[in-house]
Amino acid sequence: MPDQPLFEMAGVEGRTLEELRDAASTCTNCHLYQDATQTVFGKGPQRARLMIVGEQPGDKEDLAGEPFVGPAGRLLDRALVEAGIERQTVYLTNAVKHFKFTPRGKRRIHSTPNAEEIKACRPWLDGEMAAVGPAVVVALGATAAKALLGASFKVTRQRGEVVDRDGMKLTATVHPSSLLRLKDPERTEAIEQFVADLRATAALLD
């Protein structure tokens, strides 16, 4: 379980999404703001019943200032359609709001946020959850799952498990970027399983 219960970080309770977005745009709670282009805050309806939490913005998201607009986001879009979920009804965000990367020539290679960075960014995620009040929250990948469900949570073994907390159902599956790294036939099978997980998530909303 997380060290700190949801919503207990100071200064986020009672703030609207717009207020939180404005405040996060100048956040310096950790060093990641220094090299990234901008804060990539969550996006979606104020009263979304389903919230999806990824790890951090990628290269495309960092430049666009929006979550899930790169290759992994496009895969997520297709999977949502197949699972019968309309993307515009979902609030999409990340556990960490700045892009962490390692420069390699002209490219910026994704680098996984560490526990300190995830903790530093936690107030924004808590604020989003408090402001939106989703019925179901699904974490994508190990980083988001650990942030939401605790450091001992293992997506490989526990994907699809549902935890009831603070009036919400929390669950986790893989991050679509991990599916992009696979080759067929494993990739097709993994995408089918990902869609099945999202379909099960949608069923929690009924």
Site for ligand SF4 in 99-158 (CB under 6 A): 117, 120-121, 124
Binding status of residue 28 toward ligand SF4 by CB under 6 A? yes
Stretch that binds ligand SF4, among 21-29, 135-143, 154-162, 191-199 (CB under 6 A): 21-29
Interface with ligand SF4 (CB under 6 A), residue total 15
Stretch that binds ligand SF4, among 93-101, 125-133, 173-181, 186-194 (CB under 6 A): 93-101
Residues 24, 48, 76, 85: which binds ligand SF4 (CB under 6 A)?
A: 24
Taking the least distance from each CB to ligand SF4, the nearer of 55 and 197 is 55
Taking the least distance from each CB to ligand SF4, the nearer of 116 and 161 is 116
d(CA 78, CA 136) in angstroms, rounded, equals 20
* Residue in this structure with the two tokens 């969550």, named with its chain if needed: 42
DSSP code of residue 166 = T
**Residues 6 or more apart in contact with residue 74 via CB below 8 angstroms:** none
Burial of residue 133 (CB within 10 Å: 0-12, 13-18, 19+) is middle
Name the token pair of 165.
């907390």
CB 85 within 8 A of CB 48: no
CB 32 within 8 A of CB 113: yes
Residues 32, 50, 132, 144: which binds ligand SF4 (CB under 6 A)?
A: 32
DSSP code of residue 87 = G
Taking the least distance from each CB to ligand SF4, the nearer of 12 and 79 is 12
DSSP code of residue 43 = B
Name the token pair of 70.
């790169």
Residues 33, 68, 101, 194: which binds ligand SF4 (CB under 6 A)?
A: 33
Taking the least distance from each CB to ligand SF4, the nearer of 62 and 197 is 62
Contact footprint for ligand SF4 (CB under 6 A): 24, 27-30, 32-33, 39, 96-98, 117, 120-121, 124
